[in-house]
Structure 1
Amino acid sequence: MKLDQLKLNVDDIPFKKSLSFLPLINKLKQEQKEGVEIDLYSKIILDLVEKNPELAKTDFNIKDVEKYEKEIHTMMSYIFTPAQYKKDIGVVASPFDDKNFYFTPNYLEIYNNENIEIEFVEQRKQDSCYMTFTKLIYAYLMILPKFYNFQLDMDYLFLYRMTDKLNGLVKYYKLEFNESCIELSHKGALPIVSEDQIREMINDPMNMDFWLQTLPLDNFTFSGFMSFRYVDVTQIEVISSLKSQLLEKSSIINRNNFSALEQNIRSLLALPNLNLGVISMGVSQGHVDNPSNFWHGFIDSKKYQCDAYRGTIYEEAALVGSSVLVGDLSKRESLQPVEQELLNQGIKNISITPLHYDGELVGMLELGSTKAFDINFTKLRVIKDIIPIFSIAVQRTSEELKNRIEATIKEECTAIHPSVEWRFQEAAGRLLENKESDELAKMEEIVFKEVHPLYGAIDVRHSSVIRNQTIQDDLVEQLLLARMVLKEAFSDRKMPIYDQLIYKIDFFIEGIQKGLSSGDEINVLSFIRNDVESLFPHFNEKGPALTAAIAEYDKNIDPELNIVYKRRKDFEDSLGMINDCVTSYLEKEEEKAQKMFPHYFEKYRTDGVEHNIYIGQSIAANKTFDRIYLKNLRLWQLIVSVELARKTNALRSSLPIDLETTGLILVHSQPLAIRFRQDEKKFDVDGAYNIRYEIVKKRIDKAVIKGTSERLTQPGKLAVIFSQEAEMAEYQRYLEYLIAKGYFEDNIEHVVLEDLQGVYGLRAIRVQIKDGKVREEVLEVAKKLKLNE
């Protein structure tokens, strides 16, 4: 039965009770009779009772308490010694009546303080129903040991929470009661109750109806008085609560949860001016990985890089591996910027405790106070048992946050190149922060300014022409196979419609052999399926020749595509083998090139493989950019282009269709900005001026030498396109160097290109790639060139 369904009230409990000092008096007299040496207070109490016989009544009137106030105070010295009277929070009451008649000063101070809120912990309704429940429990706590030899331990049955409304500090008290001055009796035969029944009662403590039915209380009498002490268990309760909070998901990064943690720490240490901070010590791009909206550290990580923490109390704590305590930060000499920032925030007293997980430093626990010397090592010892829990919480939260950021990046940006992943992590982290307060928050724009572009392409020569030729070949073959079937069908049965279809097939073949126009493929395949293949099931009494023709037709049809797919497959396989070769080598060498200087790299496959590279200070924020890295990368690009040309040339003999490749590099000397396009999930140049670079990239593959019809890109040659004289001079030096190293023939062509749509004044250098292998690694060769002028 639930408490709110309990029908009894405080004035209707089912047993007799009376206030009496007689149990105490009898106890003292018995000790005196047995020759026990009683203390001075016991003798004074007995002498007092002898002078005031009213105090020895079996039913003392509660209204007479005030009349005998001094005498009762003397008698209560047996319950609360003078030292306990001054220190304890205690009260003495008439049995089960809520009529308290004696109080310690601390009890009165708390209960008369309007700024102290007192409540039962885990009690839903503080009403008379719950009060009745508590009294019944106390009755059974006395009955079971005395009459049934069953000790009932309910040490934490009643727990109180006292909150100071002025500073928010919370204290917890358990209620201990002393029944030594209660005389308990029973009229008539005791109810028979087995141990199993008692245990069943204990296992269902809220079901008082069951307790009262199993062990009725009607014939029990309680005479005397009960005393209660409120024992401070704040440390035990708060530490337990902190452990539970820290083990919850988002215990640290959720602002409300963190505020609850901070308030619990304040209550535990009894420091209303205390501030709590938790930071993760991961490092990204030279910054402490501590977004303040997540980790709630004292210092905003956006303002200070990792170097700013050197020589500070943070580094000291990390090095010594234990707490570092500064009693008054304002008295500390030679404050570092980070420490000055703490002081600017009003933090005078601070403790920094390193948090370790599996032997690794994962974070720092900050305790700060606006009052100097508020925190001391005694306070720190109080929280030492929860430091490992903080470490676990930081590590787990870091992993959860990392997973959330990665999920956000994948959702918002798809796959991201490692060189710029740090920037997306920052943006994703801030997006998660902003979504805490604004569910409609969007990811910030990601722009890298002042980056130098490099573009290169390995393209298959005449790929469009070859692709069209393979389509023509497959269509003609399928038409010829269909013609053979119709020819055999016409031989078996001279139906004019068959001859008309053969005529139409011949018409299609003639047209395709002259050239494939837009829509021809769809028209031919539609004719074959609807007009020719639809007849196959209807050929009756097929002769051997017709059956063989249909079988030959079916054998040459791709089962998945339902078309002849031979030459096209050979072309696609050949193209795929070239692209796989280029991609594999490019990825391997690019991974090495990242070691020269971090840069953004992307590649995409068309009829060949194109790649974009962007390098600059904004992409590698934790390193110092110098043009030597750009020059090194340009040289690296030339070398890689040569190696790719050689590899694809060596691959030709293994291809189903012989395909030749061409190499092209575009030089653009002016830095530009790139912006991540959320809609397309990729980077693109930013700004109207920079768009010209993209236009040039899209049109140069068709560039021809001025005054001729010759394409700039030719098999076995590498072409470098530029528009500025300085660019040409720089690449001239690179090519001379590489000619000496055996990469190119000693013949550099300088050509001017025909104007393209919207693009004018382009020139190019073209060199013949030398056959043979160069032993030196690409990266090692690139490192040898140091052109600082």
Structure 2
Amino acid sequence: MKLDQLKLNIDHIPFKKSLSFLPLINKLKSEQRNGAGNDSLAEIILDVVKRNPDLAKTDFNIEDVSKYEDEIHTIMSYFFTPSQYKKDIAVAASPFDDQNFYFTPNYLKIYNDQNIEIEHVEQKNQDDCYQTFTKLIYAYLMILPKFYNFQLDMDYLFLYRMTDKLNGLVKYYKLEYDESCIEVTSNGKPPEASEEDIREMINDPMNMDFWMKTIPLDNFTFCGFMSFKYVDVTQIEVISSLKSQLLEKSSIINRNNFNALEQNIRSLLALPNLNLGVLALSMIKGNVENPSNFWHGFIDPNKYKCDAYQGTIYQEAGLSGYPVLINDLTRIENLKPVEQELLNQGIKNISIIPLYYEGELVGMMELGSTKAFDINFTKLRVIKDIIPVFSIAVQRTSEELKNRIEATIKEECTAIHPSVEWRFQQAASNLLAKRDLDDQVQMEEIVFREVYPLYGAIDIRHSSVIRNRTIQDDLVEQLQLAREVLREAFLDCKMPVYDQLIYKIDYFIDAIEKGLSSGDEMNVLRFIRHDVESLFPHFKENGSAINAAIAEYNKNIDPDLNIVYKQRKDFEDSLAMINDCVISYLEKEEEKAQKMFPHYFEKYRTDGVEHNIYIGQSISAQKTFDRIYLKNLRLWQLIVSAELARKTGALKSSLPIELETTGLVLVHSQPLAIRFRQDEKKFDVDGAYNIRYEIVKKRIDKAVIKGTSERLTQPEKLAVIFSQESEMAEYQRYLEYLAAKGYFENNIEHLELEDLQGVYGLRALRVQIKNGEEQNEVLTVAKELKLNE
């Protein structure tokens, strides 16, 4: 639920209420009659009430609380045992009035501590309205089951952040309430409301005006008191925050973001002296290496190189695969130079945690404290759930750094795939020899003939629709924030121009919610910047309410893009995580595939990842080509496509926006030629006939099943497109065998496709991908399938 959607035109509680201990007294008497509950405690409380009849009034005066302080303490022991009274952060209050009459010592300690800052999470500048809304919800939670036989459960509505100003540690508390001692009565017959009416209310939870119109609250009276308890949810909230932070592309490489991560880890572990380090260290044949130059560690990498980490706790963690914990470095003899440097920096207590991504060591996390025995195995247990997310962040950062370094080194040169590097070296050698005679000579054309193509794609389903929706959501939010500023300005000074601007904003919101047209985004942003934001300096001279609205607007604006960039960012982050996952796995498996037979491989990002493969004798300088290698590679492509679908499916629930992927393979049995284009620095198919293959590739993602409107590509399914019967027979064998091996369901669909522009007669096989884990190496599967026969 978004707070900016809240509809509430009142600022007070529209029903009668009174503080009273009578509901509790009646409850205790009932328990005594039925032989339930704690008889001795009930007897004590009822005796106190008997000696002090004012405590049994239906409208107890809260100003008399101090007069009956001891007696009320005895009464509240029904809710708080002596141990709970000492331990809990709790309070009791009159119904819906915020008039607290009973406190636990910890509650008073926190609220009287000047060094503790308390704030509502995500409710700044809306506290009064939101509190009224919450009280109304509490009221309906009591009314609906009693008078309308409708049970409505709702999680906690208040979340508090408490910051210790002395050490910066943050704790989060949810507010749980107990309404068992409130008696709700109806002033006459309760208003009529059907189950359908109540469901309409629940479907519009932020529209309290509609709720109060359907079931008016002024027909009810609430008598009694409520108790509230603050429950520590720091671990849940901080871990959630850490996971969100680590999804940021610059989460660990940007120093400011890294400092925020460190502070969150301190709060999570309640260790103000904690320091965090993350570095891309890996183990290659037992040796410590830093393959990507990423380093946010405790020790300056210029002072100690990787070989200095040999024989240290870092190598121990990398070799064992488990965290290494040193409680007190001062007690360790024969420290290595690196370990002594940690001690020189004041680090006495340290843990080195290896970070793994898809089974490979990609880095290490350092947790260090200036106090011995600060970090222990129970602290390490707390952070175990976020270690995999740190691993993903390190892997992604390392890949980005590698790409930057490679791009810097090669500058304007293209990256040459290792499988064809020999041919470029040959051409370059020939060029140098010819330039001795003629310095105007050009490099010879590089063409690989008689190569077999393989094409596959993992695409994001409905990516254009989702991207447009995120743009709509962000634009509407920015317009609503701007509208709030203008509304406050109009309330402060009723100038017609402000009302006209509000009208225009409402017009834009209505138009965008109906659909995004070309140029809408540009028009909206131009209007906001020229007609609305330009008024902000003038508004700041006015009341505090306007300044608060402007501050809320600026808080939600991305400082780099100067727009609301939340939903779009979540989409781009989700897309990046899927593509990173696909590319990482594809590259790793492609290295194995190269061992079958050298082949040219290229991948590129769209709203997904596509790959091209070319294999044939002309690509290999040494090895003799046979069709068995082509069959092996085709089988490899099917297995990898199934595994990629599984991985992206498993990733879906952890994405900021859940995205679904589809898988596609195109079969082309005829060999063709590829030529290196010097102007574009890339390979392309050569010849007019072969260009048809490129046309098919560009159009098949829109293919639909003949006679229907159903798209061929579907989530959790793999589609194999072909045009020749021989191709179908070959892939039928592969899919049947892989279904038996647990990659696919044993139900192969045979489909005809509608003609595409310039493309006719295409057919497809489609299979359901089965959940499971990879069971066989490709070469083993190929051997069992007898591809060499």
Per-residue Cα deviation, 1:109-130 (whole angstroms, up to 9, x for no partner): 0001111111111113254222
1:287 Cα shift?
8.4
The question of whether the paired residues in 2 share the 8 Å contact of 1:327 and 1:375 is answered with: yes
Q: Distance in 1 between matches of 2:89 and 2:42?
A: 23
The TM-score normalised by the length of structure 1 is 0.52
1:288 Cα shift?
4.4
The question of whether the paired residues in 1 share the 8 Å contact of 2:156 and 2:175 is answered with: yes
Q: Distance in 1 between matches of 2:405 and 2:66?
A: 70
Q: Distance in 1 between matches of 2:66 and 2:397?
A: 61
The question of whether the paired residues in 2 share the 8 Å contact of 1:174 and 1:231 is answered with: yes
Per-residue Cα deviation, 1:734-761 (whole angstroms, up to 9, x for no partner): xxxxxxxxxxxxxxxxxxxxxxxxxxxx
Q: Does 1:7 align with 2:3?
A: no
Q: Distance in 2 between matches of 1:388 and 1:463?
A: 58
Change (3 A) 1:196 1:100: same
1:357 Cα shift?
1.1
Match of 2:262 in 1: 262
Q: Does 1:347 align with 2:347?
A: yes
* Equivalent position amino acid for 1:248 in 2: E
Match of 2:274 in 1: 274
Q: Distance in 2 between matches of 1:382 and 1:37?
A: 38
The question of whether the paired residues in 2 share the 8 Å contact of 1:239 and 1:386 is answered with: yes
Match of 1:184 in 2: 184
1:26-425, aligned counterparts within 5 Å? Answer: 26-36=26-36, 38-281=38-281, 288-289=289-290, 295-411=295-411, 414=413
The question of whether the paired residues in 1 share the 8 Å contact of 2:25 and 2:46 is answered with: yes
1:22 Cα shift?
0.4
Aligned to 2:347, what secondary structure does the other structure show?
Answer: coil
The question of whether the paired residues in 2 share the 8 Å contact of 1:242 and 1:261 is answered with: yes
* Equivalent position amino acid for 1:253 in 2: I
Aligned to 1:162, what secondary structure does the other structure show?
Answer: strand
* Equivalent position amino acid for 2:9 in 1: K
Larger gyration radius, structure 1 or structure 2 = 1
Change (3 A) 1:410 1:204: farther
The question of whether the paired residues in 2 share the 8 Å contact of 1:24 and 1:181 is answered with: yes
* Equivalent position amino acid for 1:399 in 2: E
Q: Distance in 2 between matches of 1:350 and 1:463?
A: 65
Aligned to 2:66, what secondary structure does the other structure show?
Answer: coil
* Stretch deviating more after TM superposition (253-262 or 217-226): 253-262
1:713-732, aligned counterparts within 5 Å? Answer: none
The question of whether the paired residues in 1 share the 8 Å contact of 2:20 and 2:223 is answered with: yes
Q: Distance in 1 between matches of 2:433 and 2:291?
A: 44
* Equivalent position amino acid for 1:289 in 2: N
Per-residue Cα deviation, 1:343-370 (whole angstroms, up to 9, x for no partner): 1111110000101112111000110001
Q: Distance in 2 between matches of 1:290 and 1:65?
A: 69
Q: Distance in 1 between matches of 2:149 and 2:140?
A: 12
Q: Distance in 1 between matches of 2:182 and 2:438?
A: 105
1:231-630, aligned counterparts within 5 Å? Answer: 231-281=231-281, 288-289=289-290, 295-411=295-411, 414=413, 458=433
1:84 Cα shift?
0.4
Per-residue Cα deviation, 1:412-435 (whole angstroms, up to 9, x for no partner): x6469999xxxxxxxxxxxxxxxx
Per-residue Cα deviation, 1:626-645 (whole angstroms, up to 9, x for no partner): xxxxxxxxxxxxxxxxxxxx
* Equivalent position amino acid for 2:273 in 1: N
Number of residue pairs matched by the alignment: 434
1:88 Cα shift?
0.3
Change (3 A) 1:335 1:20: same
The question of whether the paired residues in 1 share the 8 Å contact of 2:281 and 2:288 is answered with: no
Change (3 A) 1:25 1:416: closer
Aligned to 2:171, what secondary structure does the other structure show?
Answer: strand
Per-residue Cα deviation, 1:561-589 (whole angstroms, up to 9, x for no partner): xxxxxxxxxxx7xx977x999xxxxxxxx
Q: Distance in 1 between matches of 2:213 and 2:164?
A: 42
The question of whether the paired residues in 2 share the 8 Å contact of 1:90 and 1:107 is answered with: yes
Match of 2:489 in 1: none
Q: Distance in 2 between matches of 1:83 and 1:351?
A: 36
Change (3 A) 1:580 1:221: closer
Per-residue Cα deviation, 1:696-719 (whole angstroms, up to 9, x for no partner): xxxxxxxxxxxxxxxxxxxxxxxx
Q: Distance in 1 between matches of 2:413 and 2:446?
A: 22
Q: Distance in 2 between matches of 1:389 and 1:74?
A: 50
Change (3 A) 1:199 1:351: farther
Q: Distance in 1 between matches of 2:143 and 2:446?
A: 87
Aligned to 2:27, what secondary structure does the other structure show?
Answer: helix
Aligned to 1:123, what secondary structure does the other structure show?
Answer: coil
Match of 1:16 in 2: 16
Q: Distance in 2 between matches of 1:144 and 1:206?
A: 17
Q: Distance in 2 between matches of 1:184 and 1:377?
A: 50
* Equivalent position amino acid for 1:7 in 2: N
Change (3 A) 1:457 1:290: closer
Aligned to 1:8, what secondary structure does the other structure show?
Answer: coil
Q: Distance in 2 between matches of 1:357 and 1:580?
A: 38
Match of 2:595 in 1: none
Aligned to 1:68, what secondary structure does the other structure show?
Answer: helix
1:457 Cα shift?
6.9
Q: Distance in 1 between matches of 2:403 and 2:437?
A: 46
The question of whether the paired residues in 2 share the 8 Å contact of 1:347 and 1:370 is answered with: yes
Q: Distance in 2 between matches of 1:311 and 1:127?
A: 57
Aligned to 1:147, what secondary structure does the other structure show?
Answer: helix
Aligned to 2:361, what secondary structure does the other structure show?
Answer: strand
* Equivalent position amino acid for 1:364 in 2: M
Q: Distance in 2 between matches of 1:32 and 1:167?
A: 50
Q: Which runs of 5+ in 1 are unaligned?
A: 420-455, 468-571, 582-789
The question of whether the paired residues in 1 share the 8 Å contact of 2:6 and 2:206 is answered with: no
The TM-score normalised by the length of structure 2 is 0.52
1:248 Cα shift?
2.1
Q: Which runs of 5+ in 2 are unaligned?
A: 419-430, 448-789
The question of whether the paired residues in 2 share the 8 Å contact of 1:313 and 1:324 is answered with: yes
Match of 1:490 in 2: none
1:340 Cα shift?
1.1
* Equivalent position amino acid for 1:249 in 2: K
Per-residue Cα deviation, 1:312-355 (whole angstroms, up to 9, x for no partner): 00011111111100001111111111111111111110000101
The question of whether the paired residues in 1 share the 8 Å contact of 2:282 and 2:318 is answered with: no
1:211 Cα shift?
1.5
* Equivalent position amino acid for 1:206 in 2: M
Q: Distance in 1 between matches of 2:437 and 2:380?
A: 76
The question of whether the paired residues in 2 share the 8 Å contact of 1:289 and 1:301 is answered with: no
Per-residue Cα deviation, 1:133-185 (whole angstroms, up to 9, x for no partner): 12111111211222222222222321111111111111111110000100011
The question of whether the paired residues in 2 share the 8 Å contact of 1:20 and 1:58 is answered with: yes
Change (3 A) 1:580 1:217: closer
Aligned to 1:185, what secondary structure does the other structure show?
Answer: strand
Change (3 A) 1:287 1:302: farther
Change (3 A) 1:185 1:417: closer
* Stretch deviating more after TM superposition (115-124 or 378-387): 115-124
Change (3 A) 1:2 1:195: farther
Aligned to 1:391, what secondary structure does the other structure show?
Answer: helix
1:77 Cα shift?
0.3
1:194 Cα shift?
3.1
* Equivalent position amino acid for 1:268 in 2: L
